[in-house]
């Protein structure tokens, strides 16, 4: 029996190449994993999205760059040089025989499952500035790192409001941070390290702001910070400046109830305000391959469930480094990478000496969400409810918790006005995806990187629950906002392209129901499909 020419059977796109081990992310953990797997005899591809192009940076993807990039980031060749120079691990990986591809995004993962059975094997969707392609793999090691948690205040849309991870990347990888004077929010190890790094690069640090009444990190470990003002029990009232720019920040003192104290405002001149409250594991790729994720506040939120060798619950998929749980500790990241790299190579038949048991000294930090919640409460008390929680779609805190339809619809009805988080809670637990569909919060081009956590925290707070009880909002491919001309499948098989308007040739599909003889005893496959334009 020949196949119906219109059937999609056997037309699934083939990967353009197959690599036994693919490692995503070339930080400490990813490089260690790639090197270990290659030394174990496996063929390894290591991809990293840096240097990302200027347009992507301007959308705060993948990190919160806050428009504080220098013009030089437009020079791709120069940025490629700098990214390579900044990461000695890349040379090490290259020497170990790893195929290293920089400036390469992972935008999708395609694996067989209950509703997909026809793929030739698991595949990743990759892309660079020009095109996208598929790569098949046997083992996938995800070392995707972490991103900043950011919380809104009046003026947080201005250029110069950025995240610590974005600042670190621009300072150390790109050497292209356009900042002269930076105010830092938070006082944990991330904040203090960011302050020290800024000073080291000749940036003036205007101060470290902490909503609590004590510094969280060990400030003594950063001698260069001596003399930097520390504002305890303070929060941000507003960022000010000429159109679209941060030129100063107004701080205000808060009391034990996180309410503003009258007449304590102070305006601090700075061109950059940097969130350094903590990091969130980048689990979007792990979510796409179906790895089970668990909530662990001490590791930054949703993290993969892992075996002793860093294997997730998804077949052949490992997670290492900050995306497996934020620890911010390079030695742990390297060790995790090494363990996963060896395990991946071993599972492919490499004859390696047995693994050392993974060190259980996890070094989990304190639970971070209560701290973020504290910051958010102070910002709500001081800044009010008319502050945007979602910049892309301009959804305010009030519109979010009152579950208002998007403003541009100009849709005002008693029915809609009666709807609120409270009435929705009557139908079941709060669900961030549902709230997104109703309000558009999180639907914009930054792919909810700037609002995901604050939307979750606000919903939890307003619903009187804790954020671990709010299900993980979904991630969908493409995981990066890629241009259509890049994502466009240039390699689509002609057989698929010719027939893309239909899935099967069903001769009777568009027959009127009153015509006799539709029921089939023996279907005929080759009868032409009736198309309306024929």
Q: Residue 93 CB, nearest distance to other proteins (Å)?
A: 31
* Identified binder of other proteins from the candidate list 290, 328, 471, 483, rule CB under 8 A: 483
> Dihedral angle at the C-alpha atoms of 452, 456, 462, 466, nearest 10 degrees?
-160
Q: Taking CB under 8 A as the rule, does residue 3 contact other proteins?
A: yes
**510 is a contact residue toward other proteins (CB under 8 A):** yes
The rounded distance, in Å, linking the Cα atoms of 373 and 377 is 6
The 8-class DSSP code of residue 227 comes to T
Cβ distance to other proteins smaller for residue 212 or 478: 478
Interaction of residue 413 with other proteins, rule CB under 8 A: no
Check residue 9 for interaction with other proteins (CB under 8 A): yes
Interface with other proteins includes 525 (CB under 8 A)?
yes
Task: Annotate each residue in 96-115 with x if it binds other proteins (CB under 8 A) or - if it does not, as one string.
Answer: -------------------x
Binding segment for other proteins (CB under 8 A), chosen from 3-11, 215-223, 243-251, 460-468, is 3-11
Piece in contact with other proteins (CB under 8 A), picked from 233-241, 251-259, 400-408, 518-526:
518-526
Cβ-proximal residues to 386 (8 Å cutoff; 6+ apart), any chain = 396, 397, 398
Nearest to other proteins of 253, 502 (CB atom): 502
Q: Which of 91, 269, 367, 520 binds other proteins (CB under 8 A)?
A: 520
CB of 87 to other proteins, least distance (A): 28
Place of tokens 């197959």: 18
CB of 64 to other proteins, least distance (A): 17
Q: Are strands 105-110 and 123-127 parallel, antiparallel or unpaired?
A: antiparallel
Residue in 234, 231, 180, 182 with CA at minimum distance from that of residue 205: 182
Q: Which of 405, 397, 486, 393 is nearest to 446 (CA)?
A: 393
Nearest distance in Å: CB 442, other proteins: 10
Q: Which is nearer to other proteins, 230 or 506 (CB)?
A: 506
CB nearer to other proteins: give 62 or 505.
Answer: 505
Q: Does 533 bind other proteins (CB under 8 A)?
A: no
Q: Does 130 bind other proteins (CB under 8 A)?
A: no
Under rule CB under 8 A, residue 523 binds other proteins = yes
- Considering beta carbons, is residue 408 or 514 the nearer one to other proteins? 514
DSSP bridge partners of 293: 304
DSSP 8-state symbol, 406: P
User: Which residues in 312-351 contact other proteins (CB under 8 A)?
Assistant: none
Q: Interface with other proteins includes 492 (CB under 8 A)?
A: no
CB of 134 to other proteins, least distance (A): 15
- Rounded-to-integer distance, Cα 163 and Cα 212, Å: 20
Q: Which of 26, 129, 21, 114 is nearest to 482 (CA)?
A: 129
User: Considering beta carbons, is residue 253 or 434 the nearer one to other proteins?
Assistant: 434
User: Do 137 and 250 contact (CB within 8 A), yes or no?
Assistant: no
Q: In this complex, which beta carbon is closest to other proteins, that of residue 214 or of residue 501?
A: 501
> Does residue 532 interact with other proteins by CB under 8 A?
no
Q: Which is nearer to other proteins, 1 or 77 (CB)?
A: 1
Q: Can you list the pairs that 487-493 forms with residues at least 24 positions away whose Cβ atoms lie under 8 Å?
A: 487/107, 487/127, 487/132, 488/132, 489/13, 489/132, 490/131, 490/132, 491/13, 491/16, 491/133, 491/134, 492/13, 493/11, 493/13, 493/14
CA atoms within 13 A on the CB side of 420: 9
What is the CA 461 to chain-centroid distance, rounded?
Answer: 23
* Burial bucket for residue 98 (CB in 10 Å: 0-12, 13-18, 19+): buried
The backbone torsions φ and ψ at residue 514, rounded to the nearest 5 degrees and listed phi first, read: -85, -5
- Closer residue to other proteins (CB): 243 or 521: 521
C-beta closer to other proteins: residue 411 or 510: 510
Calculate ∠ Cα 272-368-381, nearest 5°. 60
User: Site map for other proteins, 154-183, x if CB under 8 A?
Assistant: ------------------------------
Q: Rule CB under 8 A: which residues touch other proteins?
A: 1-4, 7, 9-10, 115, 117-118, 444-445, 447, 476-478, 481-485, 487, 503-511, 513-516, 518-523, 525-526
């Amino acid at each position: 029996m020949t196949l119906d020419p219109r059937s999609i059977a056997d037309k699934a796109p083939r990967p353009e190449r197959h690599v036994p081990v693919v490692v995503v992310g070339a930080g400490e953990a990813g490089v260690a994993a790639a090197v270990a797997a290659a030394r174990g005899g496996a063929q390894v591809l290591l991809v990293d999205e840096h240097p990302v192009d200027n347009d992507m940076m301007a959308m705060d993807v993948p990190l919160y760059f806050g428009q504080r990039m220098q013009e030089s980031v437009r020079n791709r060749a120069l940025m490629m040089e700098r990214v390579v120079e900044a990461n000695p691990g890349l040379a090490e990986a290259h020497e170990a025989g790893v195929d290293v591809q920089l400036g390469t995004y992972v935008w999708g993962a395609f694996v067989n499952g209950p509703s997909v059975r026809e793929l030739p094997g698991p595949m990743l969707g990759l892309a660079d500035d020009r095109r996208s392609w598929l790569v098949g793999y046997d083992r996938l090691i995800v070392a995707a790192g972490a991103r900043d948690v950011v919380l809104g205040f009046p003026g947080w849309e201005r250029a110069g409001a950025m995240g610590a991870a974005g600042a670190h990347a621009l300072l150390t990888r790109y050497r292209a941070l356009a900042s002269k004077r930076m105010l830092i929010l938070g006082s944990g190890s991330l904040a203090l390290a960011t302050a020290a790094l800024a000073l080291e690069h000749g940036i003036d640090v205007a101060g470290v702001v902490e909503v609590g009444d004590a510094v969280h990190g060990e400030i003594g470990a950063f001698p260069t910070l001596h003399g930097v003002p520390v504002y305890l029990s303070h929060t941000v009232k507003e960022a000010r400046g000429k159109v679209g720019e941060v030129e100063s920040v107004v701080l205000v003192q808060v009391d034990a109830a996180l309410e503003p104290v009258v007449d304590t405002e102070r305006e601090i001149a700075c061109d950059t305000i940097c969130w350094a409250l903590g990091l969130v594991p980048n689990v979007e790729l792990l979510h796409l391959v179906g790895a089970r994720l668990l909530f662990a506040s001490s590791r930054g939120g949703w993290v993969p469930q892992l075996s002793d060798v860093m294997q997730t619950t998804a077949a052949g998929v490992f997670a290492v480094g900050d995306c497996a749980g934020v620890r911010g500790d390079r030695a742990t990241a390297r060790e995790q990478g090494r363990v996963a790299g060896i395990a991946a190579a071993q599972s492919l038949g490499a004859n390696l000496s047995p693994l050392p048991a993974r060190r259980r000294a996890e070094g989990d930090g304190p639970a971070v969400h209560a701290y973020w919640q504290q910051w958010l409460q102070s910002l709500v008390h001081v800044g009010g409810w008319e502050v945007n929680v979602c910049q892309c779609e301009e959804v305010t805190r009030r519109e979010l918790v009152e579950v208002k339809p998007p403003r541009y619809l100009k849709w005002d009805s008693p029915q809609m006005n009666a709807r609120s988080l409270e009435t929705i809670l009557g139908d079941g637990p709060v669900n961030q995806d549902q709230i997104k569909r109703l309000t558009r919060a999180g639907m914009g081009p930054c792919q909810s990187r700037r609002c995901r956590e604050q939307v979750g925290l606000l919903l939890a707070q307003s619903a009187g629950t804790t954020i671990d009880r709010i299900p993980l909002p979904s991630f969908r491919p493409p995981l990066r906002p890629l241009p259509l001309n890049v994502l466009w499948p240039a390699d689509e098989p002609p057989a698929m392209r010719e027939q893309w308007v239909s899935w099967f040739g069903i001769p009777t599909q568009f027959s009127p129901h009153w015509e006799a003889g539709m029921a089939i005893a023996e279907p005929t496959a080759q009868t032409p499909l009736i198309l309306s334009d024929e």
